[in-house]
Structure 1
Amino acid sequence: MDTCSHATSRTVWSSADADASDAFAYWSDVICDTFVGVAVRPGPDGAFEGRIEHSVLDGIGFAELTAGPQQVVRTRRLIGRDHEDVLLANIQLRGHGRLEQNGRVALLAPGTMAFVDSARPYALDFEDDFSQLVVKVPRSRLSHRSLAGATGVELGASGPGRVIADFLVGLNRMQGHDARAAAALLPHAVDLLDTGLSWAAGSAPPEASATALTRERIHRFVRRHAADPRLDAAAVAAGCGISRRTMYRALAADGASLSELIRRVRVSHAQRLLLSRPERPLAAVARACGFGGAAQLHRAFRAVTGMTPGAYRDRRPEAE
């Protein structure tokens, strides 16, 4: 294992680090550690080579992998073991593959992107050598509550979907030489993924409805200003240049109230702080996330995650 010394640390795993007889077993462990728990089966040829370059930027994982033929399967039993609740955005860089999820099949060719929901069974099949960039995003960072309609669908190698894929590929490369700029651009990457999910689900094609665009604008504003304890309906509506009635109507289509959205975004920020700065007092975490105090943080955190902030922070060694 080789760790690069950048502001955003990158870790490189390679099957070459293991004996030839153990190369695929080593690769299988790396895949599970980097993404989610899966069963990995090798292609028909005996020899196998694989390499992953992995980094995490503000809680979002970027993994560029190059490997030989294989099949990757996530079953209900494996889902029950790790309970990962993330979106995997798979961008095909080289070679071809096949993704099956939710009864749909996505054919992966260079330049295409497909979304995978870790909470549902799926299968990936690569018959030849291939390369991918996989972006791993916690569901709590996304505006979309349900990923079912967007998974198992590929966004083509041309058109607006390609713009999103190219942005993510460029952002991944930027981390290696300008981590500060990459961190500044990360919120835009999350916004683009939300838009791509809408397109894949068919709920908002490239000519997205005014309601969908308004909802995305509201979500972006809340994410950027959630740390302000004065954030309320009047501030959000004014910041987005819309009336309160328009704001409430747009959010109603998403099945969430403004207070629920603000609470979810603040708790997501608190989760990142609890893991990255475990020594920080809960009162300081609460202030940094826009809560009125530790008690308010405790209530909101439990409502969103089902556990207390302290219990969540104690899980940190397991996550590492």
Structure 2
Amino acid sequence: MTSFSTGRAPRGDEIDYWRQARREAYVSVRTDPVDTGFGGEIGLGQYTDFRLSTKRARAEEVKRSRSDIAQSHDDQEYLYFLFQLRGNLLVEQAGRAALATPGSLVIYDSATPFTLRTKEYYEQAVLELPADEAFARAGVSRSDYLLAKTFDCDGAMGSVAAFFVNLARTQASDPHGAHRLEPQAPALGASLIGLLSPPRPHADAPDAARRSQVLAYMRAHLADPDLDSQGIAVGLHLSRRTLFRLFEGTGESVMGQLRSLRLERARVMLRAQPDKPISSIALELGFSGPVQFYRAFRTTAGMTPGEYREIAALEGTPAQAASEPGS
């Protein structure tokens, strides 16, 4: 867990602090308070395949432009699922505008420009998933169909929403329980995409299930430096042709997906095990050596593993949350 609170910032520096907190917790954006007396708090849980946070703040306007996207050093493109708990927030993206109201869900994508506007104090639980992987898990081609639309959290949707909202609220006080629930979260997040997407031919369902099996197999064998598409196909009793077809339209090749999973796990290990030699992490994740690991990490993250670990070490420690920011 990492927490951010403008209450920790020097008087007069609250806005600069909040801008930096937003960049670290989510993606690079420009944000401005709507009026004086701004305050905000974020409690961020970072897991292997997703991030989950609680966010509460006074009125603000947040923008991510095309130039922000071009200049950012984000290692992936993300989907953000906003479970609105209090207050109203307007989400604008893909030529649409959706009002997030208490009890609703709105989704936006970090890969295209967006604006978030609110004129009042608000609270949210926010789920972040790597976009390509989430759509692949759901067996749905990536599109902007779900973006900037308001969905009511009822029925099956309500059950999934309740899982993430409750996990976000309790992950700091019950980290062991959160860790036990971690493996279920990415699949549940992807299920939201499936529930909200237009009906698709039933024939697509087996492919989605097979992709999930492939991803699970990859995660279980990340340490194998000799793992390749042939080994994955043999291990899952698939032909290579079928394996390659399962990832068509997902935005990533079979081996590209394997590398992404290894680098995601590397980021977790660099944060969670600050004393572990980087060379050991490289070998444990199936890289042939430190040089290969350094090159792959720098290409995706824009920095070396050592630099990433140094930045992670500078993150603040969790603090007690106030009843309302700026109060």
Which range, TM-score by smaller chain? Answer: 0.7 to 0.9
Deviation per CA, 1:238-287: give whole Å up to 9, x if none: 76676665444322343544333222212322333345445534442233
Match of 2:300 among 295, 305, 312: 305
User: Which stretch of structure 1 is more off in the superposition, 199-208 or 272-281?
Assistant: 199-208
Structure 1: how far apart are the matches of 2:31 and 2:46?
Answer: 23
Deviation per CA, 1:147-167: give whole Å up to 9, x if none: 645432444312333333222
Match of 1:37 among 22, 28, 41: 28
- AA partner of residue 130 (structure 1): Y
Which residues of 2 match residues 142-291 of structure 1 at below 5 A?
142=134, 144=136, 148-200=144-196, 202=198, 209-229=205-225, 231=227, 236=232, 246-277=242-273, 279-291=275-287
Structure 1: how far apart are the matches of 2:118 and 2:142?
Answer: 27
User: Which stretch of structure 1 is more off in the superposition, 281-290 or 124-133?
Assistant: 281-290
Shift of 1:108: 1.2
Structure 2: how far apart are the matches of 1:113 and 1:275?
Answer: 30
Shift of 1:237: 5.2
1:62 and 2:52 equivalent?
A: yes
Higher relative contact order (CA 8 A, sep 6+): 2
Paired residue secondary structure (1:252): coil
Distance 1:171 1:223, change over 3 A: farther
Which residues of 2 match residues 44-193 of structure 1 at below 5 A?
46-58=36-48, 60-84=50-74, 85-87=76-78, 88-137=80-129, 142=134, 144=136, 148-193=144-189
User: Which stretch of structure 1 is more off in the superposition, 276-285 or 179-188?
Assistant: 276-285
Point out 4+ residue stretches in structure 1 off by more than 6 angstroms.
205-208
Q: Which structure 2 residue ranges, 5 or more long, are not aligned?
A: 315-327
Distance 1:269 1:23, change over 3 A: closer
User: Which stretch of structure 1 is more off in the superposition, 268-277 or 125-134?
Assistant: 268-277
Distance 1:234 1:162, change over 3 A: farther
Distance 1:24 1:296, change over 3 A: closer
- RMSD in angstroms over aligned alpha carbons? 3.8
1:317 and 2:310 equivalent?
A: yes
- Count residues with an aligned counterpart: 307
Q: Does structure 1 retain, via aligned residues, the 8 Å contact 2:132–2:142? A: no
Q: Does structure 2 retain, via aligned residues, the 8 Å contact 1:54–1:64? A: yes
Shift of 1:92: 0.9
- AA partner of residue 249 (structure 1): R
Shift of 1:141: 6.6
Structure 2: how far apart are the matches of 1:69 and 1:270?
Answer: 36
Q: Does structure 2 retain, via aligned residues, the 8 Å contact 1:160–1:206? A: no
Paired residue secondary structure (1:284): helix
TM-score by length of 2: 0.73
Distance 1:81 1:47, change over 3 A: same
